[in-house]
Amino acid sequence: MTGVSLEQEELGVGLSTPSAADLPPLPDESPDLEAFEQHLAETLREEDASPFGRWRSLPIKTQRIAWGLGALVAVAVSFFLSRRVDWDVYPVGRLALVLGVLSVAWVYAATRSNIPLDRPTRGPIAGASWVLLGLAVPLVFSLMPAAHADHSLSLAGVADDFIPRAVGCLVWGTLTALPATFIILATDRQPSRQRRILAGVIGGLLGNITLQLHCPLTSPMHLVTSHATVGLVLVLVGVGFVLIAARRSGRS
């Protein structure tokens, strides 16, 4: 750059507005705009006619309120209608820690998954990090030593009782997380395989919250196999839908 010192260049100080005046003229890149606009009109009509088109076009705030309410309902059902029977003997500090970390993780991950495109976007490393974190946090809590052994039901879920209890918790966690997870998926403006995986993982965090409120079993084996795996189940469900949808669109 003629007449510009290195210091000026480094600091951006005193730089004139750059110009392309002495570069060759730009070649025309225009396509057939009429055909383009016809296809665009068809695309927008299909979008508005699709089941999730209207959901995707809702304002971001409304979307967040919707999945927030879905999560609140799940938590309320677990707490008010089916609270863990060992509630009175469960260590308060541990309960606060587990619920606090899971709740903050869920709110933050769900909000970040819903960022509009006019904000800075997340790179693939950040996305993968969220998936790993979403799976790791419930696993870490599940691997901690049992919270207590002061309630007879907390010691259940072993031997012949292991599988029925595990399946029951897996179903509970998955079903309670489904409404909010479904809303997050339905309102996603950029659906992709990676984002569906992330939504499943986020759902797993919510499932672990409801299970923490509902399930009295404290055995790490039970927690690892049926609580920490809720996210994996939701991911498989989401991936399954993607594969089915892909096959259908391939056939049509």
Partner 1 sequence: MAEAGFTTQGASSEAPKRPAGTGKGAAASVSKDATDEQLMEAYAGGNMAAATALHQRYSKVLYGVLTRDLARPEDGSDLVQQCFLQLHRHRRDYQVGRPFRPWFMTIAFNLKRQYFRTKKRRPESELSDEQQQRIGAKDVAADVINARETLRKALAELNEQQREVIALHWFGGIPMPEVSEIVGASLSAVKVRAHRAYAKMRIYISEEE
Q: Residues interacting with partner 1, by CB under 8 A?
A: 1, 4, 9-13, 15, 17-33, 35-37, 39-41, 43-44, 46-47, 56-60, 116-121, 123-124, 189-194, 245-246, 249
Smallest distance from partner 1 to CB 18, Å: 4
CB of 177 to partner 1, least distance (A): 25
Residue whose CB is less far from partner 1, 92 or 249: 249
| CA torsion through residues 212, 217, 219, 221, sign | negative
Of 40 and 143, nearer to partner 1 (C-beta) is 40
Given the complex with partner 1, which of 43 and 152 has the nearer CB atom? 43
Of 10 and 160, nearer to partner 1 (C-beta) is 10
Report the C-alpha gap between 242 and 201 in whole angstroms.
Answer: 15
Minimum CB separation of residue 199 from partner 1 in Å reads 16
User: For residues 180 and 87, what is the distance between their CA atoms, to the nearest angstrom?
Assistant: 25
Q: Is the CA virtual torsion 65, 50, 177, 136 positive or negative?
A: negative
- Counting Cα atoms < 13 Å in the Cβ hemisphere of 90 gives 22
CB of 61 to partner 1, least distance (A): 8
Residue 171 DSSP SS3: helix
Whole-number Å distance between alpha carbons of 113 and 190: 10
Which is closer to partner 1, CB of 93 or CB of 124?
A: 124
Rounded CA-CA distance 208/174 in Å is 9
Least separation in angstroms between residue 40's CB and partner 1 is: 6
Q: Are 142 and 205 a contacting pair, CB within 8 Å?
A: no
